[in-house]
Amino acid sequence: MRTALLSACVGVAVALALVCPPRSASAATRAPHVEASPTFELEWRAPPQCPGPAALRQRVDSLLRDDAAHDNAAAAIEIRETPGLVDRYAATVVVRADAGETARALAARECAALVDALAVIVAFAIDPISAGEDPAPAPEAVVPEALPPAVTPVADAPVVADERSMASRTSSTASSPASSPASSPASSKASSKVSSPAAAEPAPSTTSPERPFAHLRLGGGAGVGPLPTAGPVLGGSAGVSLRRARLELTGAYWLTRDGAAPTQPLARGRFSLWTAGLRGGYRFAAGGLEIPLLLGLEAGVLRGAGEELTVTRVNRQAWVALSAAGGLSWEFVRGFALWLELRAALALRRPGFSVEGPAGVAEVHRAAALAGVVTAGVELRLRGARARRSAKAKKR
């Protein structure tokens, strides 16, 4: 009886052991292992509104297939704001990898686009062949097709690494059958735009400040003050226009006017005036419109000749004045502009003329203390070859 009971217990134990086997120590302690994403040494300096270093690392890791390429790589990136320029952000990147050291400089309107371009440069500097493969399932999501129009390489950026070898490696990767047919042309196009030296020419900016140019003005109008009565005035100027300043030499001729002494109508004379001056000031420019505000000094010769006298005498005297001018010009065709100007002058020296008539000596004319001129005409603007090329590119 005892033997039968013992045999039954042993059978039950064996059955339990077969149905529920004990878990081994290795199985009990096993946990899912996620391999850390390979990384590289990164020195990062950027404004707070830019994407962080984690975004750049993630982009570089997505471009590189070879994890071992990160082992000896290090990158130093500095992004800074450039207020007042079309490209609001500028960056410098130095990458040290097994292939050598690469230094580049970039500029872009948006910081996110700049970081995306920096990631492409870092990936190609670390491993050009691996970076040429597109790891993303949707090629349009990772290929920076819209990057080159917004990112312009700085022309004077130092390049330490041999970029010809990098470009040749990129082109060989684009023709390799290992890359997918849908992503190879786009990837090679993006890499050639970033790494090729031919892409070093900056795209023309449509809002960049205008370069200095020379100008020549011719026109006419009417004036009053130096001569006995108001009359026609011919004049012109030549000078240079800077970004926000204007400097020019002026010249004018006040056509001959007649005058007579108030007390002796028979004491008469004819008067004319030549002037020359130097002036400068600020210019407001927007598009084809310009508003100059100028101050200057004018000097000239006032000529007077007596009439109906036994002996005709010609007298010349100096006329000096401070002038202030304002106007408006419109460049209706590239290189040609129409202009209108109002000018006032305060005489520092007022010459006078007297003649001896039947009743004695009488003053025929004395220049007024204030003078005013209204003139209009055409302006020729002479720009350099570089400015003309920028204008043609802007029209395209």
Whole-number Å distance between alpha carbons of 367 and 351: 6
Domain span including residue 234:
213-395
- Identify whether residues 148 and 233 lie together within a single domain: no
Q: What is the DSSP string of 199-236?
A: GGSPPPPSSSPPPPEEEEEEEEEEEESSSSS-EEEEEE
- Identify whether residues 345 and 313 lie together within a single domain: yes
- Identify whether residues 218 and 196 lie together within a single domain: no
Q: Any idea what the Cα angle at residue 252 is, between residues 249 and 257, rounded to 5°?
A: 165
Lowest mean pLDDT among 64-73, 185-194, 292-301, 345-354: 185-194
- Identify whether residues 225 and 303 lie together within a single domain: yes
In a domain, 206, yes or no: no
Residue 174 has pLDDT above 70, yes or no: no
| pLDDT tens, position by position, 131-165 | 655 444 444 444 444 444 444 554 444 444 444 44
- Identify whether residues 123 and 45 lie together within a single domain: yes
Whole-number Å distance between alpha carbons of 378 and 13: 115
Q: What is the DSSP string of 322-338?
A: EEEEEEEEEEEETTEEE
Which of 200, 226, 245 delimits the end of a domain?
A: 200
Domain count, the chain: 2
| pLDDT tens, position by position, 36-58 | 445 678 888 899 889 888 888 88
- Identify whether residues 145 and 248 lie together within a single domain: no
- Identify whether residues 242 and 168 lie together within a single domain: no
Which of 155, 171, 200 delimits the end of a domain?
A: 200
Whole-number Å distance between alpha carbons of 271 and 305: 7
Q: For residue 60, give the 3-state DSSP assignment.
A: helix
pTM for the predicted model, two decimal places? 0.47
The arithmetic mean of pLDDT across residues 316-325, rounded, is 96
Q: For residue 190, give the 3-state DSSP assignment.
A: helix
In a domain, 26, yes or no: no
In a domain, 64, yes or no: yes
Q: What is the DSSP string of 363-387?
A: EEEE--SEEEEEEEEEEEEE--HHH
| pLDDT grade for 259, boundaries at 50, 70 and 90 | confident
| pLDDT grade for 206, boundaries at 50, 70 and 90 | very low
The fraction of the chain above a pLDDT of 90, given in percent, is 32
